[in-house]
Structure 1
Amino acid sequence: MTQDQAKAGFLDKVSWNSDSLVPAIAQDFKSGRVLMMAWMNRESLALTASEGYAVYWSRSRKSLWRKGETSGFMQKVRELRLDCDGDTVLLLIEQEGGIACHTGRSSCFYHLLQEDQWQVSQPVIQDPKAIYK
């Protein structure tokens, strides 16, 4: 077994779904606030572990997606964790620029259920048209 194979053994502990993906939750390292959820495949998880920045799998584009590659709002990974069932990855991150959502908000979880209606509970920090040119 090569050193690279030994290092990549952590990937075998993950319970990948039928599409060879695992849900990945990005959580702010300091505040504990959940910022977003995305998907990872083996390659994106391996790259995240080796590079120290979040790399996800885009199901719509069917390609790797380096968080912040377009917007500049990268996610520096402080810790990677795997849940007890091995079927969810938790990334404890530092969100560069304070924007995690493609809508220009700090978190993708900005809809709040109030009186049986989803209400927007976070302001737009930066217009997405200015972020994604």
Structure 2
Amino acid sequence: MSFDPATLVYDANGLIPCIAQQEGTGEVLMMAWMNADAVARTLATGRVTYWSRSRQSFWVKGESSGHVQKLVELRVDCDRDCLLAVVDQTGPACHTNRRSCFYTALRGGEEVEIMTPVSEG
């Protein structure tokens, strides 16, 4: 059965959340938004492409930083309103230079940083 990005359930802005997960380890790396064209570009190129809400433009993960996400598999959830991109992540996934965007834990009512930035050298 052929996949059509138009069959996904997008929000009022034409967007769908996409969670990036590291292949092999299952580590959750980040969440970003895609529109139908970003989904199609991701599938066509094998490079994960998101939609930047602030810039109103496409961004290919790692295009400027070199910290690319190579698509291994794109999965659709049961309601078709969320995507899971299983990726091979090169370098940090977070713009703060951390492996994951989920580096703050809530423990005992306090925010605790559980991951430090990757050193550059």
Fold in common (TM above 0.5): yes
**How many corresponding residue pairs?**
121
* Residue in structure 2 matched with residue 121 of structure 1 by the alignment: 114
Asked if 1 retains the 8 angstrom alpha-carbon contact of 2:32 and 2:50, the reply is yes
Moved over 3 A (4+): none
Q: RMSD between aligned alpha carbons?
A: 1.6
Q: TM-score, normalised by structure 1?
A: 0.86
- CA distance in 2 between counterparts of 1:124 and 1:95 reads 16
Unaligned runs of 5+ in 2: none
- 1:106 paired with 2:99, answer yes
Unaligned runs of 5+ in 1: 1-5
**What is the identity, as a one-letter code, of the residue corresponding to 1:96?**
T
- CA distance in 2 between counterparts of 1:112 and 1:14 reads 31
Deviation per residue, 1:39-73 (Å, 9 max, x gap): 00111110000000100000011100110011000
Matches within 5 A, 1:1-133: 9-97=3-91, 99-126=92-119
Larger radius of gyration: 1
Tell me how far 1:117 sits from its aligned partner: 1.2
Asked if 1 retains the 8 angstrom alpha-carbon contact of 2:6 and 2:36, the reply is no
Asked if 2 retains the 8 angstrom alpha-carbon contact of 1:105 and 1:126, the reply is no
Deviation per residue, 1:97-123 (Å, 9 max, x gap): 2x0000000000000111101111001
